[in-house]
Amino acid sequence: MKLKLRKPVLGALALSAVSAILLGGASIASAATPPFEPDTTNQYGQVLFYDASGNMVTSGSINSPISAYAVATTNDPNVGHFQKAALFGYLPVNGVAPGAWSGTQLSQSTTFPAADATAPTGHIAPTTPASIGGLSSDRPVVTEATTDKTLAQLQTQFPNTATDAYQGLYQLRVKVSGESQWWAADVKITGSTWALVYPSITSTTLAASPASPQSLATDGGTPATVTLTASLTASVPGSVQFFRNGSALGSPVAASGGTTNTATKTDVPAGPSAGGSPVTTNYTATFTPTDPSFISSSSSAVAYVVQNPAPAAATTTDLAVTQDGIAGDDVQLTSNVHNTPTPGTVPVGSVSWYDNGSATPLNTTPVAVNGSGVATFDIPAGLTVGAHSIVAKFTPTNAAQFIASQSSPAVFSLTAPLACTPGPKCDPQTFVVDVNAGTLTISTPYTGADAAHTFNLGAMALSSDGTKLHASAPFGSSTLPAAGATFAGVTITDTRAGNGPWTASVYGGDFLSGSDKINGQNLGFTGVQPLYIGGNALSASNPVVTNDVANSGPGTIFAAGASGTAGLKGSPSVQHQFATAAHGDGTVYVYGTMDLYAPTSTPAGHYTGVVTFTIA
Amino acid sequence: MRARKTTLGAACAAGIALALLAAPAFADYGPSVDDVVGVGSDTVQNVQNFLDDGDILGDSGYNGAGNKNRVVSFDATADANDGAVYANGGTIPNPVGVVLRAGTSPWQRPNGSGAGLNALKADIAAGKHVIDFVRGSSQPSATDVTANNLHVVKIATDDLVMSGKTGGNAVAVSPQDLVAIYECTKTLWTQVGGTSATTIKPYYPDPLNSGTGKTFKADLDTIKGSSVTYGSCAHQAEENDPTLIKADSDAYAPMSEGRKKLFDSGYFHNVTTAANGSGAALSSGITLLYGSNTAQACTAPTGTSTTTYCRTRGLYITFRDSDSTSTKKFQPGGTNNWVKELFLNASDPSSVWVNTPSGQSLIQAGGADPNYRDCLAGASMIPNC
């Protein structure tokens, strides 16, 4: 069997496999330069490390591959050199020439240019390439693999027992086969981590002010000048070349030096024409230290966007009024202004309040909307007596940004305050009066105590066809009783406070004569009408509404014992309304006709029934 | 480090041999006592050279680290193109000398696995430590390993296949016909399935000193079922050297598949051109006759198999077992002795150079197939490791 081995390549190695710490934008303080550096005798240049995403790696775990790529900082000067390079690790020994240090090969020999399209951060002189793989074919690059030896393995194979300035140091070399010189980087191992100590890495971070995006004041207007500030590794002198869309922006600018090491440049970015889409200008900066032992660095690109002003956003304004109804007392006005399309963005502007359509606002100075969208105005002196209708109006600071709006009117009335302030010449007195609860009564003269107080329907007459018995009698009349006399119908009197409504009802039982009976359903109260008393509150303009409670005769005559609640037959829970009033104060009479049928089978006798009038 | 002899002389076609006159070596590197010296197999020499010094593709070898102490593997052949040095008109390589350590007299250059192993055994018997390891294309016997307290690791495999001149008369034959050819009972190609009525000219590697020769002879014995005696029509020649084969349409010899690959890779160049880099790449000029084997998957020969001869054999490194436990560190400041560094580290097998991805890549570049294994289980040799 033939065993075919393939080289696992780290170029596509997942980032997680490289547990290295990436170079961030923060300033990197370089450790002390190793005593054997710079070594221009043996070194063509230095080595920089990058992860698979192109981020520069300056420290990490010794138990993982160092990086995805080890990149030489200069080209191989040898004609006809191999297109392969490998990464080696060595143990520096004090007093021993670097060429005599012991070491081991960490990576496989890999072909360069690397098969890679990763855009590296930082600066790989002379320019930052679009990709590591895009470097010159003379630039050695080692593509590391997961199977490469780690620094931990190097440390095991060649322990560093130094206690001097060599303590913890190892040198990593990129070597091209057959060549006696190399590119090198020095790392220091502390515990389970390593950190680059040589070459010294610089950092460049670029910022633009005003911040992107910049909105033009007018559509298609001229962009404001942008100030570019490159923040550099502290205390490293040098110069900064700014770039605009990849082209040099003027001449290099000297770094300020010091702990806050910066360089600045101004530029007017490109902007859109009227109605045009936003335009992006890419700025970068490259820091070139004066001291060549520091590696130059380039910033990440700042994509600066200039855009036409956005359409004004609609707003809404509401209003809440706090007042006690008294003219002259404190009135507080509170308005909220809302951004309709983007509620999270508070409209910028002011609010004024207008009363009763006045063109002059209540507030002499517009009140700015605060960060929560609220504007308030307090009127300690209050407002005048009478009706008020206040409207809050929002006026944006920038009409191109927000649209004005106003609230619905807040309507209220204020009454006059006391005429004077109580004192020696003004003595307000306290008066009281009671309004009685009053009563609501209903009555008839027929209390049943004697014949004079009994309503008599008389003798029931046999109909001419001999099929029924019938009796009928007026229950009151349309004539007012004489002074002092009692009305023969229903008398209702309402003296209750509040002039409330009332409803009058009636119900009755069967007529009995011994064990004989006439079904109460055969009794009806018809022709029911009010009889108003002149000068009384209850009148045609404040009417009592009546209705009949008729029986079913002569068509239907209920036999004794037949169940039901027709006619006046009922109970306290089944009453029959016959009169109502919406505003019932006063006295009114109600009259009508009591009408009774009975079947011819009814035995002779003196029948008595009870009819109850109620009002509520 | 690859170390070989500088040979002088003129090529002279005389019969079947490329005749060169041997001359003393002058330019070999003289290894120090702290360097590691290897000798032995012709088949394995390029693989080991690449492992030590890198290949022509720019892959670095062990010595590429530039360490103080180096690995020096002396070729079996005197010619860097893997060619042997023959007496005028001869086919058996002439012995040539080699200085294995600085400040020592020349020894006979061990040519082959067996010669290398014998040299190591002699070194041990003499109480010296001139040779550190032996390259082998056959596995040392358990007897030798035990008697000399040796240790063996397999680093790769390689196929041994019959070969003939490209476009020549040689054909793939049955195992039984292969025995007949080498016993000279069948001497014409037409007797073994060929179309040419010409006489077969079989060559065989040194059956005593060459691992390839031992393997081939043992396989012929297996096929026959008894010991094969090479007939008078068969001649000994340097193993894996295509020079004789490509010069004669009737020549027939076993050939290392790895060596053939190395030729095809353009590694070897015409050294008759002055050393200005313009020498054309050499082609082997031969064809491997896989016959009924498919996809170059060899089947071990048996007495009854009719499958065309093709043998997959291991490529081995043999050294003193005591060196694997030596406290002498190979490199200054290092923790490994040379065995742990290069060939065997029981606690971390993946860290030894031949078993790293770089080492295996170099083995492949040398034409072999990486296949790493410790051939000792305890103190016992693993058969057919």
| C-alpha span between B130 and B124 (Å, rounded) | 9
pLDDT tens, residue by residue, A190-225:
999 999 999 988 888 999 999 999 999 888 999 999
Q: What are the Cα distances from residue A608, in Å, to A8, A9, A288, A456, A517?
A: 120, 120, 127, 9, 9
Q: Phi and psi of B276, rounded to 5°?
A: -120, 15
pTM above 0.80, yes or no: no
**Range of lowest pLDDT (A228-237, A358-367, B91-100):** B91-100
Q: What Rg, from alpha-carbon coordinates, does chain B have?
A: 20
Q: What percent of chain A stands above pLDDT 90?
A: 74
Q: Which two tokens stand for residue B252?
A: 């027939």
| C-alpha span between A531 and A540 (Å, rounded) | 10
Q: How far is A83 from chain B (nearest CA, A)?
A: 7
Which residue, A275, A278, A301, is CA-closest to A215?
A278
B-chain CB neighbours of A100 within 8 Å are 68, 332
DSSP A16: G
Cβ proximity of A262 and A283 under 8 Å: no
**Closest Cβ opposite residue B65 in set A85, A104, A108:** A104
B-chain CB neighbours of A3 within 8 Å are 157, 369-371
Interface of B with A in 321-350 (CB under 8 A): 331-336, 350
Q: What Rg, from alpha-carbon coordinates, does chain A have?
A: 54
| C-alpha span between B116 and B208 (Å, rounded) | 11
E strand map for A18-107: 20-22, 43-50, 56-61, 69-72, 84-90, 103-105
Interface of B with A in 30-59 (CB under 8 A): 54, 57-59
Interior angle at CA B271, CA B268 and CA B274, nearest 5: 135
Per-residue confidence (pLDDT) for residue B24, from 0 to 100? 36
Q: How far is A183 from chain B (nearest CA, A)?
A: 13
Per-residue confidence (pLDDT) for residue A125, from 0 to 100? 55
**Range of lowest pLDDT (A364-378, A444-458, A530-544):** A444-458
Cβ proximity of B62 and B353 under 8 Å: yes
Mutation target to probe the A interface, by most A beta carbons within 10 A, among B47, B59, B315 is: B59
Q: Number of Cβ pairs closer than 8 Å across A and B?
A: 105
Q: How far is B228 from chain A (nearest CA, A)?
A: 28
pLDDT band at A499 (very low <50, low <70, confident <90, very high): confident
Per-residue confidence (pLDDT) for residue A127, from 0 to 100? 59
**Closest Cβ opposite residue B58 in set A88, A102, A176:** A176
Residue B226: Cβ within 10 Å count: 10
| C-alpha span between B253 and B239 (Å, rounded) | 8
pLDDT band at A8 (very low <50, low <70, confident <90, very high): very low
Rounded to an integer, the average pLDDT of A148-159 is: 96
Looking up tokens 């330069």 gives: A33
pLDDT tens, residue by residue, A585-607:
889 999 999 999 999 999 999 99
A156: enclosing H helix or E strand: helix A151-157
Q: What are the Cα distances from residue A168, in Å, to A19, A103, A184, B67?
A: 20, 15, 16, 20
| Angle between helical axes of B45-53 and B357-365 (0-180°, round to 10) | 140
| C-alpha span between A354 and A335 (Å, rounded) | 13
pLDDT tens, residue by residue, A296-355:
888 889 999 999 988 888 999 999 999 988 999 999 999 999 999 999 999 999 999 999
Cβ proximity of B368 and B362 under 8 Å: no
B374/A contact by beta carbon, under 8 A: no
Per-residue confidence (pLDDT) for residue A35, from 0 to 100? 94
3-state secondary structure labels for all residues of chain B: CEECCCCCCCCCEECCEECCCCCCCCCCCCCCCCCEEEEECCCCHHHHHHHHHCCCCCCCCHHHHCCCCCEEEECCCCCCCCCCCECCCCCCECCCEECCCCCCCCEECCECHHHHHHHHHHHHHCCCCCCCEEEECCCCCHHHHHHCCEEEEEEEEEEEEEEEECCCCCCCCCHHHHHHHHCCCCCEHHHHCCCCCCECEEEECCCCCCHHHHHHHHHHHHHHCCCCCCCCCCEECCCCCCHHHHCCCCEEEEEEHHHHHHHHCCCCECCCCCCCCCCCECCCCEEECCCCCCCCCCCCCCCCCCCCCEEEEEEEEEEEHHHHCCCCCCCCCCCCCHHHHHCCCCCCHHHCHHHCHHHHHHHHHCCCEEEEEECEECCEECCCC
The identity of residue B185, as a single letter, is: T
A-chain CB neighbours of B66 within 8 Å are 99, 103, 175, 180
Rounded to an integer, the average pLDDT of A244-254 is: 95
Instruction: List the single residue in A with minimal CA-CA distance to B57.
Output: A82
Per-residue confidence (pLDDT) for residue A12, from 0 to 100? 35
Contact B357 A7 (CB under 8 A): yes
Contact B64 A104 (CB under 8 A): no
**Closest Cβ opposite residue A105 in set B296, B335, B358:** B358
A543-557 exposure pattern, b = at least 16 Cβ within 10 A, e = fewer: ebebebbbbebeeeb
Does the bond joining A126 to the residue before it have cis omega, within 30 degrees of 0?
Answer: yes
A-chain CB neighbours of B369 within 8 Å are 2-4
**Closest Cβ opposite residue A103 in set B65, B297, B358:** B65
B312/A contact by beta carbon, under 8 A: yes
Per-residue confidence (pLDDT) for residue B1, from 0 to 100? 57
**Range of lowest pLDDT (A232-241, A355-364, A422-431):** A422-431
A-chain CB neighbours of B65 within 8 Å are 88, 90, 103-105
B-chain CB neighbours of A91 within 8 Å are 333
Mutation target to probe the B interface, by most B beta carbons within 10 A, among A2, A41, A43 is: A2
Rounded to an integer, the average pLDDT of A399-417 is: 90
**CB proximity list for B43: less than 8 A, separation 6 or greater:** B113, B135, B137, B158, B211, B212, B239, B240, B256, B258, B259, B315
Q: What are the Cα distances from residue A24, in Å, to A21, A50, A176, A298, A548?
A: 9, 12, 30, 12, 98
**Range of lowest pLDDT (A16-30, A554-568, B223-237):** A16-30
| C-alpha span between B322 and B137 (Å, rounded) | 23
pLDDT band at A16 (very low <50, low <70, confident <90, very high): very low
pLDDT band at A18 (very low <50, low <70, confident <90, very high): very low
Cα dihedral B165, B167, B173, B179 sign: negative
**CB proximity list for B46: less than 8 A, separation 6 or greater:** B82, B258, B259, B262, B267, B366, B367
Residue A118: Cβ within 10 Å count: 21
Per-residue confidence (pLDDT) for residue A15, from 0 to 100? 30
Contact A103 B312 (CB under 8 A): no
**Closest Cβ opposite residue B334 in set A5, A88, A158:** A158
Task: Identify the bridge partners of residue B18 per DSSP, sorted by sequence position.
Answer: B13
Per-residue confidence (pLDDT) for residue A421, from 0 to 100? 72
A225: enclosing H helix or E strand: none
Per-residue confidence (pLDDT) for residue B27, from 0 to 100? 54
**Range of lowest pLDDT (A116-130, A371-385, A386-400, A444-458):** A116-130
For each of the domains in chain B, give its residue range(s) and CATH number, in order of start.
Answer: 2-157+314-381 (3.40.190.10), 159-313 (3.40.190.10)
Contact A2 B336 (CB under 8 A): no
Task: Identify the bridge partners of residue A354 per DSSP, sorted by sequence position.
Answer: A391
3-state secondary structure (DSSP) of residue A521: helix
Q: What are the Cα distances from residue B5, in Å, to A497, B26, B107?
A: 139, 8, 12
**CB proximity list for B37: less than 8 A, separation 6 or greater:** B31, B72, B73, B74, B100, B101, B130, B131, B132, B133
| C-alpha span between A515 and A448 (Å, rounded) | 20
pLDDT band at A541 (very low <50, low <70, confident <90, very high): confident
Give chain A's largest Cα–Cα span: 154
3-state secondary structure (DSSP) of residue A545: strand
**CB proximity list for B42: less than 8 A, separation 6 or greater:** B75, B76, B77, B82, B111, B112, B137, B210, B212, B238, B239, B240
Average pLDDT value over all residues in chain A: 89
pLDDT band at A123 (very low <50, low <70, confident <90, very high): low
Q: Quick one: B106 exposed, middle or buried, by C-beta within 10 A (0-12, 13-18, 19+)?
A: middle
Per-residue confidence (pLDDT) for residue B12, from 0 to 100? 28
Which residue, A151, A193, A249, A198, is CA-closest to A43?
A198
3-state secondary structure (DSSP) of residue A42: coil
Q: What is the pLDDT along chain B (385 residues), one digit of tens a residue?
A: 555 433 322 222 223 333 333 333 345 689 999 999 999 999 899 999 999 999 999 999 999 999 999 999 999 988 888 777 777 777 777 888 899 999 989 889 999 999 999 999 999 999 999 999 999 999 999 999 999 999 999 999 999 999 999 999 999 999 999 999 999 999 999 999 999 999 999 999 999 888 889 999 999 999 999 999 999 999 999 888 898 899 999 999 999 999 999 999 989 888 777 766 567 888 899 999 988 776 556 777 777 777 889 989 999 999 999 999 999 999 999 999 999 999 999 999 999 999 999 999 999 999 999 999 999 988 889 998 9
| C-alpha span between B360 and B355 (Å, rounded) | 6
Looking up tokens 């060196």 gives: B323
**Closest Cβ opposite residue B68 in set A84, A85, A100:** A100
Cβ proximity of A133 and A115 under 8 Å: yes
